Amino acid sequence: MKKAWMLFSVERTICWSKEAIKDGLKWCAGDGKSMNVFSDSWISEVPLEREVWTTTRASEDEVLRVDQFITADKEWDAGKLMVVFSEDIVQKVLSIPLPKGAAHDQVMWQGDRINKFSVSEAYRLCARREDNSRR
């Protein structure tokens, strides 16, 4: 019985740590095809689904990608953005630079000041997440 409890505890810790580390990642826009508008962190440190409420999503199965707000000229489509988001979110999006050439979306670590992943920084992020969950 002790081994089963330990296995469950390890599995739970790994899943919890994965979510905590995911919180330290941020997307940098390229073509926008890999970025989920609501569940990926691309405008700020947290995904939009944690910041705003919107009636735009018809269902949980619907996936809205960032590329749907980028024109063929590699610019943000302000008109489409204004249909979906509030003015403050639109202004944040419009301030994000887009590459003019062909570029893919990239994930970067935002957990520390120099945007470089380290195990110790991931541990601190997990510890902060644990402290916040106790409040």
Contact by Cβ (8 Å): 65, 35: yes
Supply the pLDDT for residue 58: 45
**Range ranked top by mean pLDDT from 18-27, 37-46, 67-76, 105-114:** 67-76
pTM of the model: 0.67
Query: What distance in Å separates the CA atoms of residue 68 and residue 31, rounded to the nearest whole number?
Result: 10
25 secondary structure, DSSP code: E
Mean pLDDT of the chain: 78
75: left (phi over 0), alpha (psi -120 to 50) or beta: beta
- Percentage of the chain lying above the pLDDT 90 cut: 33
- Could you read off the pLDDT of 53-99 as tens digits, one per residue? 554 554 555 688 999 999 999 999 999 999 988 899 999 999 999 99
Structure-block tokens of residue 79: 């008109």
For residue 67, the tally of other CB atoms under 10 A from its CB is 15
pLDDT at 1 over 60: no
- Closest Cα to residue 43, out of 62, 27, 21? 27
pLDDT at 34 over 70: yes
Radius of gyration (Cα) for the chain, nearest Å? 18
How far is the C-alpha of 65 from the C-alpha of 86, rounded, in Å?
A: 18
